[in-house]
Structure 1
Amino acid sequence: MFDVFGSVKGLLKLDSVCIDNNVFRLHYKATVIILIAFSLLVTSRQYIGDPIDCIVDEIPLPVMDTYCWIYSTFTIPNRLGGRPGIDVAHPGVSSHNENDEIKYHKYYQWVCFVLFFQAILFYVPRYLWKAWEGGRIKMLVLDLNCPVVSEDCKADRKKLLVDYFATNLHTQNFYAIRFFICEVLNFINVVGQIYFMDFFLDG
């Protein structure tokens, strides 16, 4: 079962040079890992068990489970009250007639796809930022994060960096704007996901 999560391990790799901030990393690392892991868990039903259980007496259970999975389940909103096991089998589950309002729940078949789609949406700002950034920070670091660089070499490289920043002051505004665009995209994504989940789960 743990082989299922092998593809997620690549996201755990730490970058040698950090080109963003901790909140940004929460979006494209932690959230993406969680969403993909749960998407894989949902899709690997042969390891976990049945995705749905329908309770009937006359029909074989595997046949009924497949039927319930394909044709969706429903609840009866006016049966949400009552004592479970006495008045109703479960809140919203009871026998019904033509006058009862029926609320169908079809979302569960799509959960694995929605989780994966959400993971993609959380990774999009990171993808854009990596493309726009183009390895500039890594190039500017000049291996200063390497422990085997001599102190003289470090001093020379630091002087190069200071000279570069002094010479190019205020010329990297578009670079910063792109980063802020990605940060705004992260925020829009989070807010949009809240509304999307509300719509997907039908309120």
Structure 2
Amino acid sequence: MLDVIRSVKSLLKVSRVHIDNDVFRLHYTATCVILLAFCIVVTTKQYVGDPIDCVRSAEVPQSVINTYCWIHATYSVKSLMHLSHQKDVVYPGVGSRSSADSSPSDHKYHKYYQWVCFMLFFQATLFYIPRWLWKLWEGGKIQTLMMDLDVGMCGETERKHKKKLLVDYLVNSLRQHDWYVAKYFTCEFMAFANVVGQIFLMDKFFEGEFLTYGLEVIRFMDQGDEERLDPMVRIFPRVAKCQFYKFGHSGTIETHDAICILPLNIVNEKIYIFLWFWFIILSILTGFVVLQRVILTACPPVRVYLLNMRFRLVHYDHFHTVVRRGSLGDWFLIYMLGQNLDSMIFREVIADMAKRMTAEPKDSSSAA
């Protein structure tokens, strides 16, 4: 268990080199840690005890009925959902045999709880895939170009030499980084598609109950006690029914009714109400990022404005010159370098680039 916790904790380590933005990092750091932590919680018995505990007749061993009901799923009676502590009803959706002898279509089976831990782990893996793919495609480019220039305390000669190498590369490779930025934008779009897709995946997992889950919980708090049914109880019942079949002494099939307590659902309901709000917020934030990328692709002046807002020490005209001469890929590479280089060194790099770019036409005309 401690090894698992340590591996989860390693996801929170902040890298020295930033190759993406804050919202993208929320997908593969915070969200992955949250999902893996929830996965650990639902598999640890010390918090809620056994995941299922059934009350049964004396003829069926406890371990047998518990295992059977856990594997084959419990159910609630839909027509009894809005009734509680009334005649023949001991819990919403759970009644005596006379009240529960309804058609199979009136039974709502709860088949998901065996798979919650696996689903949480699968979701965490999906959230990490865009990061893994971008790290593979990026190939350490930013770290290589940094050349330890993120540390301002270095020798003057060494700094000038490294700065010249960086400026030479950026000027000589203008308009050659479009494929680089296209890969990153693809990973951001994958992250957006993943979080939206996972909302619908959870809705499918809970048989159409997840999309409106958070809204129903909010609405439940404003309703009167006599008319409201807790949606967390409906989707994650703490008590449900189970029917066990066995051969009797005469060879006929006997039906044994059992009432099962599902203490794990107390944890599940809190996990998924949190995930509902988290996924909604994350999808909105990522949607804004994707929209920003579309605007940046279509409107070059916005790139200058964004650089100027992010890096105040650099002169606006220098940014304007660099962005006007370069492409979207050059803008993205400069933006990433600005996040990693020392601010004073970055200002000097942009100034040298702008000077080189404005001087090149004059040099070429005089040579002619």
TM-score, reference length from structure 1: 0.90
Deviations 1:40-94, CA, capped at 9 Å, x for gaps = 2222336652112323463554443322211211111111112x22342221122
2:173 equivalent in structure 1: 168
1:11 aligns with 2:16: no
Counterpart of 2:248 in structure 1 is none
Change (3 A) 1:160 1:49: same
Aligned equivalent of 2:203, options 195, 198, 201: 198
Kindly report which structure 2 residues correspond to 1:8-157, keeping only aligned pairs within 5 A, or say none: 8-45=8-45, 48-56=48-56, 58=58, 59=60, 61-82=62-83, 84-87=84-87, 88-95=89-96, 96-99=100-103, 101-146=106-151, 148-157=153-162
Separation in 1 of the partners of 2:7 and 2:144?
29
Q: What is the CA distance between 1:37 and its match in structure 2?
A: 1.3
Match of 1:183 among 162, 166, 188: 188
Query: 2:95 is paired with a residue of what secondary structure?
Result: coil
The structure whose residues are more often strand, as a share, is 2
The gaps in structure 2 that reach 5 residues or longer are 209-368
Q: C-alpha separation between the residues in 2 aligned to 1:49 and 1:116?
A: 21
Cα deviation, residue 12, structure 1: 1.8
1:146 and 1:60, CA in 2 relative to 1: closer, same or farther beyond 3 A?
farther
Secondary structure at the aligned position of 1:39 is classed as helix
Residues 49, 154 of structure 1: alpha-carbon distance in 2 compared, 3 angstrom cutoff: farther
Write the letter of the residue equivalent to 1:167.
Answer: N
**SS of corresponding position for 1:18:** coil
Can you give the 5+ residue segments of structure 1 that lack an aligned partner in the other structure? none
Question: What whole-Å deviation, never above 9, does each CA across 1:109-165 have from its counterpart, x for those lacking one?
Answer: 011111010011000000100110000011011111246533442343233222221
Over the matched positions of the two proteins, sequence identity in percent amounts to: 51
Name the CA distance, whole Å, in 1 between partners of 2:29 and 2:51.
28
Query: Structure 2: which amino acid aligns with 1:97?
Result: D
TM-score with structure 2 setting the length: 0.51
Query: What is the aligned residue count?
Result: 202
